[in-house]
Amino acid sequence: MVDFKTSILQEQKRCIFCGKPPSNKNKEHVIPKWLIELTGDPKRQWNLGVQTNHPDRKLRKYAADQFQFPACEACNSRYSDLEGRTKGYMSDLLAGNNLTAEAWDDFLDWFDKVRIGLWLGNMMLNKDWPIPEPNFYIDQRVGQKDRCVLVYPNEPEAQVLNITGASDPMFMYLPSSFMLVVNSLVFVNISSEFLLSARMGFPYPRKTSVKGTRRYVSDFTATFNARQPFLRFEFYPPRWAVYQTVLLEGSLDAEDYKPLVEHEYIASKRIGGGRTQICTVSPDGVKFHAGGAPVEKAEMADRGLKPLVAYYIRLFEYRQRTLAQSREEFPEMRKFISYLGRFNAEAIAQAKGSTVSVRRRVRDLNPEG
């Protein structure tokens, strides 16, 4: 049996933004009310995993508008403007309109907020089996790591809000990717440290060392040249695909990092702090976009409609690849990572029509069961 660590989230209320005990207690809707209302009945039920301590492994069911978690009033208020702007971005995309690079940078902040909020929120719900101890909250992850979002078409008349890959055991330990379906669009969001840096020509480490579950990096270098593909995994061609490298803001003055950041290739693409320009890839090549420049959608024929399960499978296949990399990188956790890989593989098999029970694997993760 794998050893799990019980989290503080199972014992104490923590602000989902700052991680401290909530001040002037408030509630944060990780999936905002405007998005719930845009996609159907706000009172409709969501299935959010299973109750692993229940003998029948019953599904967790919540009214969509009740999926909310502790927050400081001040923290919640800080993100209200971002929510207002994102509502406009979503409306534009659903209408088929392009966003500017500046808007995509902002929209990626929202995806960071939602992805980490789902991670923390789902862990708070799981009080019946041990979960990891979080070492960051929303504030510590918005705009801090390389990130991208791939946008695909869904059925034109669909009214749906679907979240995939954000409540299973793998996501609890590696909250770096998930899929969000909003009516006629499918969003695949991925973010992690150095996800894009090397292929986009930005600084990346040549040396890494691991102590326990922590990775330490050094000896930075950069090619100052963008090379396709940025993600070394074959996703379906998206309607929109935006990529952004985020430099290590705390290392901008470091001896082996500063000269790289000051190189013309990188300096010309910085937009403040560690952020760099939004980047896209087309048949014409790689393009970095200035703030007000529109990021145009692709019109290629092979970006047609696919069933949702096809995107689901591809996302989980990507996650299987990241697990394989983690297994090599963290030898002390190899057994546990392999265990998560089996769970993820069974999810893929089920999506492809296998009779293997993913619910059984969730049951097996309960050390008391």
- In order of 12, 88, 92, 284, the CA distances from 38 in angstroms are 33, 12, 13, 36
State the chain's mean pLDDT as an integer: 86
pLDDT at 142: 96
Which residue is listed with tokens 């769970």? 343
- In order of 129, 147, 224, 269, the CA distances from 278 in angstroms are 40, 10, 16, 9
Give per-residue pLDDT as tens, 42-77: 878 776 656 555 556 566 676 777 778 899 999 999
DSSP reduced 3-state for 148: strand
Rounded CA gap, 31 and 87, in Å? 12
- CA 319-147-31 angle, to 5 degrees, is 80
- What is the dihedral sign for C-alpha 323, 244, 287, 238? positive
Higher-scoring residue by pLDDT: 348, 1: 348
pLDDT at 226: 95
**Residue 265 near residue 224 (C-beta atoms within 8 A):** yes
Higher-scoring residue by pLDDT: 57, 88: 88
Average pLDDT over residues 194-222: 88
pLDDT at 303: 61
Higher-scoring residue by pLDDT: 5, 147: 147
pLDDT at 358: 40
Rounded CA gap, 184 and 155, in Å? 5
pTM for this entry? 0.90
pLDDT at 12: 82
- Whether residue 214 has pLDDT greater than 50: yes
pLDDT at 213: 67
Rounded CA gap, 14 and 32, in Å? 19
User: Which of 54-68, 173-187, 224-238 shows the lowest mean pLDDT across its residues?
Assistant: 54-68
Rounded CA gap, 363 and 348, in Å? 17
Give per-residue pLDDT as tens, 93-150: 999 999 999 999 999 999 999 999 999 988 888 766 667 788 899 999 999 999 999 9
For residue 293, is it left (φ>0), alpha (ψ between -120 and 50) or beta? beta
Task: Report strand pairing: 45-50 vs 275-276.
Answer: unpaired
**80 pLDDT band (50/70/90 cuts)?**
very high
Give per-residue pLDDT as tens, 259-302: 999 999 999 999 999 999 999 998 888 999 998 999 998 765 45
Q: What share of the chain in percent tops pLDDT 70?
A: 86
pLDDT at 57: 59
Give per-residue pLDDT as tens, 7-55: 777 778 899 999 999 988 778 888 999 999 999 888 787 766 565 555 5
